[in-house]
Amino acid sequence: MPVSVEDIARQMLALLPEDGTAVPNRVMRVMLARALSADIDEGRYRTACERLAAQSRIGLAQGQGGGVVRKPQSAAGPLRRAEGNGGWSEASLMPWLRQYLDGPAARDLPALRGAKWLTCDTSSVGTSGVQWARPDFTLISVKQFKLLPGIEFDVHSFELKTESGGATDLAVFEALAQTRYTNFGYLVWHLPHGSRYERKLSSLQKQCGHYGIGFIRLREPQQAESFEILVEPLRKTPPRDEIDQFLDARLRDAERRQIRALLNGAAS
């Protein structure tokens, strides 16, 4: 029996992030199909979107296939979300993730062992027109072998989520989308011990495993030992020209020069 418009609308509201993040239509239909265990008819999907938009419960995003976004229902919403994050915003978490990636990550991430790497903040570099093509951090690693010819060049993307921001299936899809341009994708979720969002941990861990996305739990941002690798990522192999275009669009001039220096040093 086909899923009704009412069921689609109800489930869509349950899936949309509270922080107002836009979800592409193609991704939302996949999420709905998983949640409702049924194919989602495009006509019914569009009718559900139009009804919710008419009720001012969602907004309709434009460009690249369009998308949907939750509209705030009260002024108290942002306050509740801030409380749910324990005072840690994404911006305040960024320096601690960078510190981890610049050093301690080498003991936890197999791809970095024996490699040299560069960590780049790509959260605000490049155009914003492409959905989900802007990881919070992009790490470029270069490894030279003792006997085998050539070098291994890998690009790793890290999507950072706050305590409440990571508690949706959308976080996994966002990290997955970034592997269109990277070899390894990671979801990093700030989830303190005893958080009310821990009930979502098992579900997100299974989804990351299913899609080959790395999953890192961050309990205490200021403690490097609190970063826990829950799922190891699987290597993706996007076309090399797409990786090159992605890096060219997301990196700063100084970072490009550093990468060339890494490559020249490995090749010499």
Q: What was the pLDDT predicted at 26?
A: 84
Q: What was the pLDDT predicted at 86?
A: 64
Contacts of 24 (CB under 8 A, 6+ apart): 61, 64, 65, 66, 67, 131, 132
Instruction: Give the tokens for residue 252.
Output: 């700063």
Separation between Cα atoms, residue 202 and residue 110, nearest integer Å: 23
Q: What was the pLDDT predicted at 66?
A: 87
Q: What was the pLDDT predicted at 76?
A: 45
Q: What was the pLDDT predicted at 85?
A: 58
Instruction: Give the tokens for residue 78.
Output: 């942002």
Q: What was the pLDDT predicted at 255?
A: 94
Contacts of 250 (CB under 8 A, 6+ apart): 120, 122, 125, 126, 134, 138
> What is the second-level CATH architecture of the domain 5-70?
Orthogonal Bundle (1.10)
Q: What was the pLDDT predicted at 18?
A: 73
Q: What was the pLDDT predicted at 1?
A: 67
pLDDT in tens, 233-246: 999 999 999 999 99
User: What ranges do the domains of the chain cover?
Assistant: 5-70, 90-267
Q: Return the beta strands (E) in 40-182 as ranges.
A: 58-61, 67-70, 116-121, 137-144, 151-161
Q: What was the pLDDT predicted at 83?
A: 43
Which residues of the chain register pLDDT less than 50? 75-83, 129-130
Q: What was the pLDDT predicted at 81?
A: 44
Q: What was the pLDDT predicted at 246?
A: 93
